[in-house]
Amino acid sequence: MDGQPLRARGASREGQGPPRPGRRTHIVWPSVGPDACNVRRACEDAEGPSRSTMSPQPSPCLDENTLAALGTERLPAAERERAAAHLDGCAACRELLAALGHLDSALPASAAAAPLAAPAPEALAPGAAVGRFIVLHPVGQGGMGRVYAAYDPQLDRRVALKLLHPEAWGAEATHEGRARLLREAQAMARLSHPHVVTVYEVGLWGEQLFLAMEYVEGQTLRAWLRERPRAWREVLRVFVDAGRGLAAAHHKGLVHRDFKPENVLVGADGRVRVTDFGLVQPTGSLAQPLPPGARSAADASTGPLHTGRGRVLGTPGYIAPEHYRGLDLDARADQFAFCAALYEGLYAQRPFAPREPEALRDAVLSGRVEPVPASSRVPGAVRALVQTGLAVEPSARHASLDLLLGRLERALTGRRTRSGLLAAALLALLLVGLGVQSARKSAQVCSGGPAKLAGVWDGGVRAAVERTLRETGKSYAPETARHVAQLLDGYAGAWTGMYAEACEATAVRKEQSAELLDLRMQCLERRREDLRALTGLLQHADAAMLDKAPQAASGLPAVAVCADAEALRSALPPPPGDAARARLDALRRELSAASSLAALGRLSEGYARAEAAAKEAQALGYVPAVAEALLARGQLGADLRPPEEVEATLREAALAAGRARDDRLLVSAWGRLVQLMAQKEERREATDELVHALTVTTARVGRDPGLHAGVERALAMLAARRGEFARAKPLFEEALGHYEEAGDERMTAITLGNLGHVQRELGQLDEASARVKRGIGILERLLGPAHPDNTQLLNVLGAIHWKKRELESARAVFERVLRVREEAFGPQSAPVGLVELNMGAILIELWRLDEAQVHLERAAALLEKTRGAKSQDLAATLDNLGIVLRRKGEPQRALALHRRAADIYRGYFGADHPMLASLTLNAALALSDAGAHAEAQREMQRAVALYEKRFGAGTPDTAEAYSCLGEVLHAAGREREALAAYGRAQALLEKAGGDALASLFAVHDGVAPVLLALGRAPEALAHLRSAEAGRGQQQWGTVERALHQLSLGQALWATGEDRARGRELLLQAREALRALHHPVAARQLVASERWMAQQRAL
């Protein structure tokens, strides 16, 4: 550590050695947005692992040999079972297994893609391995396969591991069939929704398909229904949640094909999740005809039904009529199964009474639904909705599951207009007949939505977009193309569902006026033009657009706003006259085109069209259009125009939005203004006033998960930028919940990364790691492992490894990021420069200074060229280069770089902003190395104050600053003051507890030379032994180990406890320092040899 000379008891000041290696490296990684990077730092040698090494374990921990052999035949079965049981409850061993699991990433791609060798399909014993997954214990068995609780060491989490029986492949037991089913399972793995059990990974294990899924503590919906009698509202609420998960699969173009109460889980947390998508198929897949006499080997009432060739078809009692007939299956088959299960849940009886297969088939095909119990209190309107979903002909059912769920929710909450109550009463009086007839009428009158999307998003456009994206040639193009198509499928599905719902509200249910229908259809027309603009560009996409396409597709304006009757009615009417209407329509098409161009990376073109649209809007004089166009110009000009001009445009947009009575536009304009103004610390008060107005206006908008998530995330990023991480965390968590509710998977993943960043800053490393890994899992399912969007969260994961002192793991992560970004952006790009910076930081930690300098100089050149001489990223690079030079014995050159970096930061944040804390600390260490001890102490005291301002006076980060202060004081010969600083650091870490305790080893190591200099060798020895115990599983750096050995050798010699061992350690340290071939190590070597000569320890 810098500033800690070797000084034995009784030695003169001339016997002091040079300062120890520096402690302050930093990395750059995304923290405030999908496409932005912020500079972050941490005190290098003083940071500990994410768990306390002092927590007791229930049984002796597993050694690395046992963990490495786990899941192989090298470990006896009994030992495997014991190890698996221990692993199930020991976080420490799971972390070590996770670290060993990083070796898997070194396999060549061909090996990773090949099916894993598997034994015969008997039940697996605890401790067995399926690929990287370690079996913990069996959970259950069904018609399709067995389910186990398992542990994933790579992502450090428990999973449910399902292995499909080989016989379940049936007719698909060919190479092509397996590949197709594997693709279908992988498609399901790309679905992430709060009411769907997440599939983390799918693959082949010998002849078996395996799925690694979210592990849910809870019970099946069947068990939940049988647990006790439940009111109809309670049952309906649970089914609506399950239906939302099922509808999410439909939005991805997938059909479940075996929905039933056994395939819905009610978690201990109350959350409902649909599971067992083992039969999932693409929409429109052809069912095998079911012969009249077909039977299941299991109970025909609940067990899955197989054909003679073994292919599972579904479960009798829930199979739709078209399934029996072997017709094309789509989401309406799932709707039938959902309604059959809901009927059973509401009335405690099946909708079709027969149990014998032939009789059951006849009842389903003829639509003979059983009468409901006379004592039932379920409203007739609900029964009519369920009956419609059980119609024999798919076209007579609800237009979509979303529509059915919306109607059920209205029945659940009792929200009906007067005409709606009258309709319900009539339905109750006329029973089901009129309900079915009404549903059929609605299907005919309001079924024109898909036709409206012809040429916008239909089969031909979809195929063209997928083909164009795949032909860009990037390795991740196929995955990206599929994901973009699925996103647009979902958007189109929401559009057609909203079209039908709006139509039915007026034409069928008579609960909505013709005027409101017209407003909703105008809104839907605008959303259709947004979709048309994007799909038109995607049909001619290039490689650059490929990278932006997922964000562009997920960022389309929400269709849900077209159901906000209050907002639609409050908007100003369009300008009178056909000519004015035509101009308005053309203007809004231009705005759609501008937004799509910008979203796909063609920012200059998009801005030019937005600017032209703004002029046209001013000429037209229609205030809502003026607000829309000015907002677009301000948003798209943020990276192209001077900040003052952008701010003026956004203020004009906000003024126009207020005059237009459009709160959503006002929220967007103010949100952008907050982001812009937050870049200047001197405008903090004005920014806070705007934040208050933004918060009030957002609350006025009402229920809109996507809008609320965006605002919460923007406020969280503002807090994080100010270093207010404790305030940022709950805001990010609120945003995360809203993104999950809105079904925005990409922003869910990005926000998990934001939370990981904040929790890393707060020292909550286990939670940070878990959240970031979950986000990475989502993005990899959506985009594949090679898409550059993944690197944003991988950078955060690398930073967490770095803070936990898992340096080789961090280096491996950053090397992966470097490979991905070089392919995606080219070797001379800014994103590559950022990861070069991170690589340099890790290599500094590993004492590979020459390599670090190469990476950092490359980063500096790239970032200055691409981001300018005043960018924060360049400042981070210069600061790290300063650390390299200081370690190489050039403190004056290092100081110049630290000060240049600090000057850049002052330009962004002001003179005494907390973000300057670590730069100030680095400058203090350089001053200390240069012998300017008085100035170094002043600078370090200022650094401590900034740390307290940024992180709080009692936090682990501030403790690290006090530890560095101790180094500087020790270098100046002020040992008693240094001892007090180290004591303060120790007290703060012990008070913080938890993960912070693991950082104590660095304080113990740091204070030992001070105690030796004061002649208190026994105390120094006690601290050094505490350092060894507290380090736990953390990796030793070469220099760290050598310096620890020097202090320990001196302490053992000085106390006389074990001089032979002390001399051995001193010699080992001397050889290690000689091998480094660097100036600082050489000076340490000279000092150590002088001390050994003085003590006659040679």
Considering the domain architecture, whether residues 126 and 252 belong to the same structural domain is answered as no
Nearest to 139 by CA among 72, 217, 224: 217
Check whether residue 256 and residue 360 sit in a common domain.
Answer: yes
pLDDT by residue (tens digit) across 716-744?
988 888 878 888 999 999 999 888 877 78
Ramachandran sector of residue 296 (left: φ over 0; alpha: ψ -120 to 50; beta: rest)? beta
User: What global pTM score does this model have?
Assistant: 0.57
Q: For 806-846, how does the pLDDT look when each residue is reduced to its tens digit (9 = 90+)?
A: 888 889 999 999 999 998 888 998 889 999 999 999 898 88
Is 360 found in the same domain as 248? Answer: yes
**Is 612 among the domain residues?**
no
- Name which residue leads in pLDDT, 166 or 422: 166
Residues 244, 392 within the same domain: yes
Active-site position among 156, 258, 662, 789: 258
What residues contact residue 1013 under an 8 Å CB cut-off, 6+ apart? 5, 7, 8, 9, 11, 970, 975
Q: Please indicate, yes or no, whether residues 296 and 361 belong to a single structural domain of this protein.
A: yes
Rounded CA-CA distance 729/242 in Å is 30
Segment 860-868 shows an average pLDDT of: 92
266: CATH:
1.10.510.10
pLDDT of amino acid 84: 57
Judging by beta carbons within 10 Å of its beta carbon (0-12, 13-18, 19+), is residue 868 exposed, middle or buried? exposed
Residue 976: how many CB atoms within 10 A of its CB?
A: 9
237-246, 556-565, 842-851: range with highest mean pLDDT? 237-246
pLDDT score at 82? 60
Q: Please write the tens of the pLDDT for every residue from 379-429.
A: 887 888 898 899 888 877 888 898 899 888 877 765 443 334 333 333 333
CA dihedral angle for residue 838, residue 843, residue 844, residue 847, rounded to 10 degrees? 170
Which of 509, 543, 561 is the endpoint of a domain? 561
pLDDT of residue 671: 84
933 and 1029 share a domain? Answer: yes
968 and 904 share one domain: yes
Residue 72, SS3 per DSSP: coil
For residue 293, pLDDT over 70 is answered with: no
- Cβ neighbors of 89 (< 8 A, separation 6 or more) are 58
Statement to judge: residues 184 and 289 lie in one domain? no
Residue 634 lies in a domain: no
Most trustworthy range by pLDDT among 89-103, 106-120, 891-905, 1050-1064:
891-905
Which residue segment(s) compose the domain that 175 sits in? 64-214
CATH number, position 1062: 1.25.40.10
Mean pLDDT of 232-253: 89
Tell me the backbone φ, ψ of residue 184, rounded to 5 degrees: -65, -40
Q: Domain boundary at 214, 241, 273, which?
A: 214
Mean pLDDT is lowest, of 714-718, 753-757, 771-775, for 714-718
183 pLDDT band (50/70/90 cuts)?
Answer: low
Q: What is the DSSP letter of 827?
A: T
Name the average pLDDT for the chain.
78
- In the chain, the percentage of residues whose pLDDT exceeds 90 is 28
Q: DSSP letter at 196?
A: B
pLDDT at position 848: 86
Is 602 a domain residue?
no
pLDDT on residue 851: 92
pLDDT for position 879: 94
More confident residue, 40 or 199: 199
383 and 339 assigned to the same domain: yes
Q: What is the pLDDT of residue 744?
A: 82
Whether 63 is catalytic? no
Per-residue pLDDT tens for 128-161? Answer: 888 888 888 888 776 567 888 888 876 767 888 8
Kindly tell me if the per-residue pLDDT of 80 is higher than 80. no
Contact 70, 133 (CB under 8 A): no
Q: Give residue 177's pLDDT.
A: 54
Q: Whole-angstrom Cα distance, residue 991 to residue 296?
A: 63
The domain boundary residue, chosen from 531, 561, 591: 561
Kindly state whether residue 783 falls inside one of the protein's structural domains.
Answer: no
Q: Which of 36-40, 101-105, 763-767, 983-987 is least confident?
A: 36-40
pLDDT digits (tens, 9 = 90+) for 998-1019: 678 888 888 998 998 888 999 9
Give phi and psi for 636, each to the nearest 5.
-75, -20
**Gap between the Cα atoms of 922 and 899, Å rounded:** 9
Q: What one-character-per-residue DSSP string does 884-900 give?
A: HHHHTT-HHHHHHHHHH
Whole-number pLDDT of residue 531 = 96
pLDDT at 289 over 60: no
Q: Shortest CA distance to 619 belongs to which of 642, 586, 593?
A: 586
pLDDT digits (tens, 9 = 90+) for 1061-1077: 988 988 888 888 787 66
Residue 681 has pLDDT above 80, yes or no: no
* Same domain, residue pair 924 and 993: yes
Q: Are residues 68 and 162 in the same domain?
A: yes
In a domain? residue 136: yes
Lowest mean pLDDT among 326-340, 436-450, 781-795, 1076-1090: 436-450
DSSP string, 108-149: -HHHHHSPBP---SSPPPTT-EETTEEEEEEEEE-SSEEEEE
Q: How far is CA 70 from the centre of its chain?
A: 30
Least confident of 182-191, 547-556, 566-575: 182-191
Domain presence at residue 438:
no
CATH code of 89's domain: 3.30.200.20
DSSP codes of every residue in 490-522: HHHHHHHHHHHHHHHHHHTS--S-HHHHHHHHH
Q: Is residue 390 a part of any domain in this protein?
A: yes
DSSP bridge pairs for 40:
27
Res 166: pLDDT: 63
Tell whether 458 and 356 lie within a shared domain: no
The total number of structural domains that make up the chain? 4
User: Do residues 406 and 560 touch, judged by C-beta distance below 8 A?
Assistant: no
Select the more confidently predicted residue: 806 or 287.
Answer: 806
69 located within any domain:
yes
- The encoded tokens of residue 104 equal 């898997």
**CA-based nearest residue to 92, from 802, 998, 1027, 1000:** 998
Q: What would the pLDDT profile of 17-74 be if each residue is shown by its tens digit?
A: 333 334 445 455 433 232 222 222 222 222 222 222 222 233 445 544 454 445 444 4
| pLDDT for position 638 | 85
